[in-house]
Amino acid sequence: MKYLVAVVLQIGIFLCFQCSNAQSSELEQAFNNAYDYHYTNKDSAYYFYNKTIALGDKQNELEYMLSAYIYLMNANGYYYDLKNYRKNLKKEDSLLRYDKRFKTLSNIDYYTDYLLFDKGNYHYKIKDYTTAKGYFQKLFAKLNAIPKAQRNRNDLATLSSLYSFLGAIYKHTGKYELAEYHFKKDIALVSTYKDSMDDWKTSSMNSKKLLSQVYEDKKDFKAANLLLTEALSYYKSQIKDPSFKNRILSTYILLAKNYIIQGNFKSAIATLDESAYLYFEDNPFSREVDLIYGDAYMGLKEYDKAEAYYHAGLLKIKAYRENQKHQDMAMVYTRLGKVSLRQQKIPEALTYYQMALMQLEEDFNDPDYASNPDPDKVLSKTILVTVLKEKLNALYESYTITNDIEYLKKANSTSKTIIKTLDVLRPEFESKLDKEFLNTETYPTIQTMVRISYELFQQSKENSYIEDAFYYMEKSKSITLLEALRNSEATKYGNIPDDMISEEQIYRAKISHFDEEIFNSDPNDKAALIDSLFLIKKEYYEYIAKIEHDYPKYHALKYNADVVSTQEIKNELHPNQSVLSYLVTDNSIFLTLLTHENDAFYKLPFNENLKKTITDYYRQLSMPNIEDRTSYSINSNLIYKAIIEPAMDNNKSTDIVILADDVLNYIPFDVLQTDSGNEKSYLLYKYSISYASSATLYLEQSKANLKSSNKLMIFAPNFNRSVSGIKADRERFDKGPLIYNVQEAKNISEYFKGTIYDGNRASIANFQKDLDAYNLIHFATHASANDEFPDYSYLAFEDTGNTSNLLYAKDLYNYHINADLVTLSACETGFGKLQKGEGMLSLARGFNYAGVPAIVTTLWKINDQSTSEIMKFFYENLSNGLNKKEALRQAKLRYLNSNDDALLRHPYYWSGIVITGNTMPLNSTDYLLWAIVALIALLLIWLLYKKSINRVK
């Protein structure tokens, strides 16, 4: 945020009415002179405000004194004179604390409140966001407690500014959900109370300008430009008012930055040039303007001009920060490093990056490129990540220019510092959306880390670099899901009292309720619901923060950022088992292969043609062409050769765990063909294949304790009563009746004891009430994947007319399902939005959040009849003691072998069913019991035999 006018100048403090009638004309004149110079002459304004303070002190005109301090500090902020701002804050604070005269003021609370605001504003400007937020939130809580009908103009104006400041703080710390909420809340507040607010339109435009930066960071440049253009047009209409100069300047700057991000460098320069007529000698933004000019010329590859502007900006920032370390200087040195690197001045570039890092930690002054600051000690972890990313890219590029492996080694060391910094930073993010955004933004850097590890491995053949690559890959896979599962473990073992756990669950349920209300609400009702949701979230985050503070064991378990190593995984693998972990970049697919004895590392070509082949292949599988039953075979073989064949050479494993990435999540690997002309060459015929979100999750899920007995819960809604007028369909992509789901339920119930919930019994209420009694849960129902809003993918239950019959993915975040296996025999339950750093955001993922270690899902709109057959074979195989993945494999093979019709053998009918997570066999009470009975029987027979022998003797 470039500039926010302090509240005092929005609301006006009319001293002539506030102060006593015994005013001296000299005092009044001093204040009026100061105000006249407020926006036009800093030195004169300062002189007359200080004269007002001195006269007020002498004449005991206390409100004149305090009001002059407020105006003076507003001028300090306007001119970004932070040294004097700090000095005047201390003076006013001392007066209010220790000068007894001020205790007699009837409206002293107003001034103490405003001092809170000024403290927040000062700390905001020095980018100490944590301290600033504390002051602003304290004042906000006080004002927000005032009943709406009793709020005066000052209260409303102050609340407006607080919303803007808090939104800006959240934006700068990467908490975009909270930032957007606060800016929109301010816009709504101003619109509602515009008749009671001075200059309401300016306040609204300020927040729109700030909101544009949130959209810009989220890559919604069109929305950002619209808001900035609207704000600039209004500000320019007020050009005669000197108080608008900074607003106009800052908006031009934001527009120029927006153009640069989009690569429109000439428009950025033209925008800055257009605003030049506003540049005065005391322009507080001149240092930033220099940097943006530099960025634009950097984009145009005019490196000498870029460097000159950067140095000019650096000199101004050094003077402004009084040569003290600061993150602003870190960002300038980072720019200088980048421009030097573009000119292949490698030592100079890396020196600049190291100097940037030195600005972020008070005691860090190491010029060695291999050295990095301690993330726990830096001024800003967010800026540290930014600088380290640039340094990492610079070291890698230095290697590509020089082929010197030492650059790679230092880059690898930097990679580990980035990971450590992210681990320290993540606990600061409360919102799930913001965590996912952080992971998405970090993903390209993870790709660079893996690329560096591969180059090091190629040059050295040291397996330690495979370990590093695998570690970085793990840090890119389903991080928020892993955090959610560890949060569940922390709740169990963090010594938290049951009543606090119950309270936390109530909060989560309320949040989920309001989320759903907002999603389904009329646009006119959204604002009130969003407010309610925000307040609940705020209370929830504060409640969780208290738990984390009071129960350190809970905090340690919850934020345990460890991921498994290659050795830990290898120790758990069987001799015939392999783990294949993928990471997809723009032009390569990196693959680490782990077996019980060995590991390997591959870099496979990836281009737009292969990506198109994969998407075409998914379409061919999920929407088969009846007239061409084998069109998929060529693509199947091409993909096999591209992504898995190298790992199969000299690999004796028959049990494979796939850790997919990006578009590879669309592929059921067992349908890939080693020979496009041979149906029997499906990998299904040779390999038992399962999937996992990450190796860390796989290992944790594999260690889940299975129940001693198996009880099966089956949901088979009828839908024919709840949905009228819809024809029955063999495909599960509407809510029409399912012809085969009841038969499917009856078939699988033959193999495990349990209950079929059909008709009205197949309700969400019964699922919630009874699920703890079962360790196997099977859904033979409708489902729908929501690619735009993944949390609203759903499973359909019977519509009983009382409540919603849809179980959304987001609802499952508040469940704890103590089951060994959930089978989602419905459409697209394993399909969803692909998100960098998270994988497939699907309905199945919701069950992962709920703690289910093994899930059978579907990748497309499946066929009712073929699925019913496969599920029967699957559960029969499970009951016979096969592990889950082999049970599913054998079920698919049995389906293929039992169908002579080539159409029904098309992969559409069978390959879209996959298993994720724990694939160990189920414990079978029946088999265990019979084994014990047989053992006892043998023992009795042996005893009777011995006894009879003794009698004979």
pLDDT value, residue 788: 75
Tokens of 403: 């082929």
Q: What is the pLDDT of residues 576-622, one digit of tens each?
A: 999 999 999 999 999 999 998 889 999 999 999 999 999 999 999 98
**In degrees to the nearest 10, what's the CA dihedral of 435, 441, 443, 449?**
-120
pLDDT value, residue 718: 84
How far apart are alpha carbons 507 and 363 in whole angstroms? 42
How far apart are alpha carbons 415 and 409 in whole angstroms? 10
pLDDT value, residue 792: 85
Q: What is the pLDDT of residues 428-472, one digit of tens each?
A: 777 777 777 777 788 899 999 999 999 999 999 999 999 999 999
SS3 151: coil
Which residues make beta-bridge pairs with 783? 795
Provide the 10 A C-beta neighbour count for residue 357.
27
**Which residues, 6 or more positions from 263, have their beta carbon under 8 angstroms from its beta carbon?**
299
Provide the 10 A C-beta neighbour count for residue 128.
15
Mean of per-residue pLDDT scores for the chain: 85
Tokens 């726990």 found at: 376
Are the CB atoms for 913 and 780 separated by under 8 Å?
no
pLDDT value, residue 738: 73
User: Is the predicted pLDDT of residue 869 greater than 50, yes or no?
Assistant: yes
Q: How far is residue 651 CA from its own chain's centroid?
A: 37
The one-letter amino acid at 534: F
Which of 212-216, 340-344, 354-358 is predicted with the least confidence, judged by mean pLDDT?
212-216
Q: What is the pLDDT of residues 7-38, one digit of tens each?
A: 444 334 433 334 444 445 888 899 889 888 88
* 841: nearest Cα among 428, 478, 551: 478
Return the percentage of the chain with pLDDT > 90, whole number: 45
Are the CB atoms for 381 and 424 separated by under 8 Å?
yes
**Which residues, 6 or more positions from 705, have their beta carbon under 8 angstroms from its beta carbon?**
none
User: Is the predicted pLDDT of residue 416 greater than 70, yes or no?
Assistant: yes
Are the CB atoms for 811 and 821 separated by under 8 Å?
no
User: Is the predicted pLDDT of residue 826 greater than 90, yes or no?
Assistant: no
Ordered DSSP codes for 815-830: -----SEEEEESTTTT
How far apart are alpha carbons 917 and 884 in whole angstroms? 10
pLDDT value, residue 832: 66
User: Is the predicted pLDDT of residue 701 greater than 90, yes or no?
Assistant: no
Are the CB atoms for 501 and 491 separated by under 8 Å?
yes
Question: Torsion-angle region of residue 234: left (phi > 0), alpha (psi -120 to 50) or beta?
Answer: alpha
pLDDT value, residue 17: 38
pLDDT value, residue 926: 46
pLDDT value, residue 793: 84
The model carries a pTM of 0.79
How far apart are alpha carbons 895 and 16 in whole angstroms? 91
pLDDT value, residue 775: 92
Q: What is the pLDDT of residues 625-659, one digit of tens each?
A: 767 767 889 999 999 999 999 998 878 899 999 99
pLDDT value, residue 407: 95
Q: Measuring CA to CA, how many Å separate 178 from each of 174, 192, 533, 632?
A: 9, 21, 11, 46
Q: Of residues 482 and 683, which shows the higher confidence score? A: 683
* 845: nearest Cα among 835, 90, 688: 835
How far apart are alpha carbons 101 and 868 in whole angstroms? 85
pLDDT value, residue 627: 72
Q: Of residues 805 and 872, which shows the higher confidence score? A: 872
Which range of 275-284, 376-385, 637-646, 857-866 scores highest in mean pLDDT? It is 637-646
Q: Find the mean pLDDT for residues 752-777.
A: 91
User: Is the predicted pLDDT of residue 512 greater than 60, yes or no?
Assistant: yes
**In degrees to the nearest 10, what's the CA dihedral of 865, 870, 871, 877?**
160
Residues in the chain: 953
SS3 753: coil
Q: What is the pLDDT of residues 520-577, one digit of tens each?
A: 777 777 777 777 887 888 888 888 888 888 888 888 888 888 899 999 999 999 999 9
CATH architecture for the domain at 706-922: 3-Layer(aba) Sandwich (3.40)
Alpha-helix runs per DSSP H in 300-371: 303-320, 327-342, 346-358
SS3 52: helix
Q: Where are the domains of the chain?
A: 7-126, 440-458+466-558, 567-698, 706-922, 927-953
Tokens 């100061």 found at: 34
The H or E element containing residue 916 is: strand 913-917
pLDDT value, residue 652: 87
Alpha-helix runs per DSSP H in 494-631: 498-520, 526-550, 552-558, 566-572, 608-622
How far apart are alpha carbons 349 and 397 in whole angstroms? 11
